[in-house]
Amino acid sequence: MAQPKKKTTIILFSGDYDKAMAAYIIANGAAAYDHDVTIFHTFWGLNALRKEAPVPVQKGFLEKMFAKMMPRGADRMGLSRMNFAGIGPKLIKKVIKKHNAMPLPQLIEMAKEQGVKLVACQMTVDLLGLKPEELIDGIEFAGVAAYLADASEGNVNLFI
């Protein structure tokens, strides 16, 4: 097994709980396949990286509005279908438990344990007015060039 490691890259654009769950399940599976895995979070996907507790930071009015209107952390994200004003996520979490599947926050935790590289897109972090201290520890900040460098060597590249 001396050949160089294969690579998987995933762009997580969506801020939906179900889509993020799919992304993180694939990431964890790819890590088990011994791939180098990168998840590049941009736009609404950045919400999966937000800390659950509010972090006191200085912000302008618009940035404060964005921060209020977007879910704070993976556990608060809504569903892409059947969200029903927040009842949908409660139901899906019940079903996840019933089937012994892993909820999104644990999937993210496991991805970190498995050495999956979590990247936040710097440009959209700025656009949405997020501060680095509002995002979970152990992530990197990068742009399109860093993503392309990984993706051009990627064996599996996904946009979710």
Partner 1 sequence: MNVAKVLDAKGLACPMPVVRAKKAMDELESGQVLEVHTTDKGAKNDLPAWAKTSGHTVIDMKEENGVLTFWIQKG
SS3 3: coil
Question: Residue 122 or residue 157: which is nearer to partner 1 going by CB?
Answer: 157
Cα dihedral sign, 121-122-123-126: positive
Number of residues interacting with partner 1: please give it, by CB under 8 A.
Answer: 14
Q: Which of residues 14-33 bind partner 1 (CB under 8 A)?
A: 25, 28-29, 31-33
Which window, 9-17, 58-66, 67-75, 99-107, contacts partner 1 (CB under 8 A)?
Answer: 99-107
Q: Is 47 in the site for partner 1 (CB under 8 A)?
A: no
Q: Are 143 and 64 in contact (CB under 8 A)?
A: no
What are the residues binding partner 1 (CB under 8 A)?
1, 25, 28-29, 31-34, 99-102, 110, 114
